[in-house]
Amino acid sequence: MTILTLRLLGAPQALYQGQPLKFRSRKVLALLIYLVVEGGQHERDKLTDLFWPETDQQRGRTALRNTLARLRQSLAEAGEFILTEGSLVGFDLAQQLDLDVRAVDAVASALSPATPLDALQTAIEQIQGEFLEGFSLPDAPDFETWATGQREWQHRRGETLFGAAVRRQIELGRLTEAVDTATRWTQYAPLTETAYRRLIEAHALSGDRTAALQTYDTCRRLLADELGVSPATETTALAERIKQDKIRRAPRQKTTPRPTSGDAPPTGPAIPQPLVIPLVGRAAEYSRLVSIYRQAAQGQFQTAALVGEAGMGKTRLAEMFLDWATLEVTPADALHGRAFEIGGNLPYQPVVEALRLRLDRENAPDDLLDDVWLAELSQLLPELRSRYPDLPPPMAGNAEFVQARLFEAVAHLGAALAERQPLILFIDDVQWADAGTWELLHYLARRWSALKTPALLLLTIRQEGLLTIPALREWLLGLGRDTRLTRLELAPLSPADLSQLARTLAPDDAASARFGTWLAAETGGAPFFVAELLQLLQQQAMLVSETQADGRRAINMAATLARLQSARRVPLPPTVRDLVLTRLGRLSAKANELLLAGAVIGRQCSFERLCQVARIDEFDGLTALEELLYSRLMLETETEARPFTFAHDNIR
């Protein structure tokens, strides 16, 4: 048990076994603070010069002796921590002492990219203000000088920890926490521009564009009024990117204005604004993408593939990461293309989409490429010839030669863009792309890797596509052999993840864990299903809301659960029904027959029983079952007698 607690980061406070201590004078407390912070043994003459500079040596020693006696008396049983030996005075730091300065110093001294976020958060919680805030000894100028030096040192350490914590929270996608920490940072250091820049970024990534721009305006006015300067180029550029509305995420739920006295608080069973579902359960994958990108930005080309079944949140995770990368101090140049199932026969369609959108923003593409490469690129983007009528024709040759020249033109364009700022080429749903697109992406990965291009190739792939499209499997294996490929598998969200989600929607609600368990049972942990179900429940006024003390509206989880339990059946969102039907439509005939047999049986069943009801032989049944298990439409349980069941009752 901690016996003595000293809080020095803020207004100084001392506690003995949790109870506040009283000191007969400020100088008694100041002596304790000095001995504890400095550590070691101190000559009595040094202490008298520090605290009683205007007195002679004899009177100074008497004052020190009396002050030490009063200090021991104030500390009660902890008075034995004061050590005196001849002319030396010190404090026994080996005793049970809780010192906020020491806790902060321990984390700050060992700070590295591997420092756990929990350690950073614990450290900054210790920072309640400046060192010895509001405390002074006007008659001891040397002590004041010492305290000022400590204050400046501790302030720098505090800013370092705030910066590290906010950066880590943003990189982990913990944006609500990042907003809170960055807000505290601006309060702690109101003239530190970096703190405002991080707060702007956190607001923007949270989808609150208005708050981000308001924070920029506050920063601009403060710097002008207090320092007579304008925001740095990085801050202004960040605000401009946000003004251009490049953030992909939906607006955050707005704060309900506080009621004024005499006004009735807003009531009603449902929250009127659209819900924004925070990203949960993906911190490890998000952080891995950030780490991969940092390597790529240093010239170590990387490829990352987000793999998961439909509805696992691959696209949302990728877009959230792209938002972060494009808001960095050195923003990424993000190109985004998407393949479509119905567009599989359109040559290079997702790459064409990505390049066209990017070059539409380029004032002078001829600054990026020589005419000879623009001519080759015009095979993909014919509009280039409208902008540059004098382009030469592409070089003629056989099909292999023409394709090689085209691929090299795209590689040159990417490398030229990456010379300005790190490049991210994001291709969504790559399983639907044509074979030519796969070949082009493989070529780009090899070429950019050889050129040490600061670029990241980011892909999303449906897991079921890897089962049903053998050529896709082979292509991905080849990509992994030839380049640095990181494959991130996205699994369903766990009940713990969904409880965390519930806590973000209803802070401090004791029923959050139960609501998370209910969500897991209803959705199977599919993020898309979770988001769509919550939106549908809100639209149907099944989410009960209440006004919090800070004026915000939050869900009352207990009341919501009671309302849901009274309902006969929770409706299936139309978007989820369409997704399930689409997945069923891609199954082979035998797999559909086996799945239908499972629906008829209606419970856990054996493989033999499935084949019997479906009237298919064992060989076809094994192939069909493998397809159903791989696509996660059916699951294998630990029950030996009846090991197979539907992944979710809604599928049945």
Distance (Å, rounded) from C-alpha 88 to C-alpha 102? 23
Long-range contacts formed by 400-409: CB under 8 A, 24+ apart: 403/436, 403/439, 405/376, 406/376, 406/377, 406/379, 406/380, 407/439, 407/440, 407/443, 407/444, 407/447, 408/373, 408/376, 408/447, 409/369, 409/373, 409/374, 409/376, 409/377
pLDDT the model gives residue 259: 38
In a domain, 6, yes or no: no
In a domain, 538, yes or no: yes
Residues near 205 by Cβ (< 8 Å), separated by ≥ 6?
170, 175, 178, 247, 249, 320, 323, 324, 327
The verdict on 434 and 342 lying in the same domain is: yes
pLDDT the model gives residue 248: 55
The verdict on 563 and 620 lying in the same domain is: no
**Ranges of the chain whose pLDDT falls below 70:** 1-2, 245-276, 343-345, 507-509, 548-553, 568-572, 579, 602-603, 631-632, 638-642, 647-652
What's CA 159's distance to the chain center, in Å?
20
Question: Which CATH number do you get for residue 597?
Answer: 1.10.10.10
**CA-based radius of gyration for the chain:** 32
Which of 489, 511, 543 marks a domain boundary? 489
In a domain, 99, yes or no: no
In a domain, 540, yes or no: yes
The verdict on 485 and 506 lying in the same domain is: no
DSSP 226: I
* Contact in structure between 246 and 238 (CB atoms under 8 Å): no
Residues near 496 by Cβ (< 8 Å), separated by ≥ 6?
516
In a domain, 360, yes or no: yes
Question: Which CATH number do you get for residue 360?
Answer: 3.40.50.300
The verdict on 560 and 613 lying in the same domain is: no
pLDDT the model gives residue 262: 41
pLDDT the model gives residue 551: 65
Q: Which domain does 509 fall in, by range?
A: 495-574
CB atoms within 10 A of CB 640: 7
What's CA 83's distance to the chain center, in Å?
49
The verdict on 389 and 447 lying in the same domain is: yes
In a domain, 477, yes or no: yes
The verdict on 566 and 592 lying in the same domain is: no
The verdict on 411 and 479 lying in the same domain is: yes
3-state secondary structure of 367: helix
In a domain, 565, yes or no: yes
The verdict on 484 and 621 lying in the same domain is: no
Q: Among residues 527, 633, 535, 532, which one has the least CA distance to residue 286? A: 527
The verdict on 509 and 463 lying in the same domain is: no
9: left (phi over 0), alpha (psi -120 to 50) or beta: beta
Which of 430, 462, 489 marks a domain boundary? 489
The verdict on 469 and 444 lying in the same domain is: yes
List the structure tokens of 559.
């009341």
Q: What is the DSSP string of 634-650?
A: EEE-S-SSS-EEES-TT
Distance (Å, rounded) from C-alpha 530 to C-alpha 517? 12
C-alpha distance from residue 638 to each of 15, 104, 136, 605, 642 (Å): 55, 48, 69, 12, 9
CB atoms within 10 A of CB 529: 25
The verdict on 485 and 501 lying in the same domain is: no
In a domain, 226, yes or no: no
Which of 489, 522, 546 marks a domain boundary? 489
The verdict on 362 and 414 lying in the same domain is: yes
pLDDT the model gives residue 344: 56
List the structure tokens of 362.
């380029």
pLDDT the model gives residue 202: 93
Q: pTM for this structure?
A: 0.74
How many domains in the chain?
Answer: 3
